[in-house]
Amino acid sequence: MFNIGDSRVYGLDDDGATQLTIDHRSMADPRAITRFLGGAHSQSIPDTTEPALTDWKGFLICTDGFYGHLTKVDLQLVRKVDPAVAIETLMDLALERGSSDNLTAVYVISS
């Protein structure tokens, strides 16, 4: 898996949601990101990792407009109901809680 910028990947299992990637946010200014697509080559290099697929039921890939207003408990909804319904419900919840950034989320089921 890889990530860049302010996106995150969460692994979901029977115990809940675990953040697997780290945001590329500036330590000096938390609103700024240090790596992103479309920048200079040195700014567009993603982090990569290979998680053990057997440990996870699925992966949630999402932007900060999505995860920034949700808790790890909220994210578990993806495993409890139909993922498409859960994503739509969680997007509505993030908006209700004040999200004003882009809301993007994809759930990938691990086999």
Range(s) of the domain holding residue 23: 2-109
| Domains in the chain, number | 1
Quick one: average pLDDT of 81-105? 94
Looking at per-residue confidence, does 91 or 36 come out higher? 91
For 94, half-sphere exposure in the C-beta direction (CA atoms, 13 angstrom radius) is 26
Which CATH number covers residue 48? 3.60.40.10
Predicted TM-score of the model (pTM): 0.85
DSSP string covering 53-80 = GGG-SEEEEE-HHHHTT--HHHHTHHHH
Tell me the per-residue pLDDT of 54-78, one tens digit each, with 9 for 90 and over: 678 899 999 999 999 999 999 999 9
Query: Confidence band (pLDDT; 50, 70, 90) for 111?
Result: low
**Is pLDDT of 105 > 80?**
yes
Quick one: average pLDDT of 2-24? 88
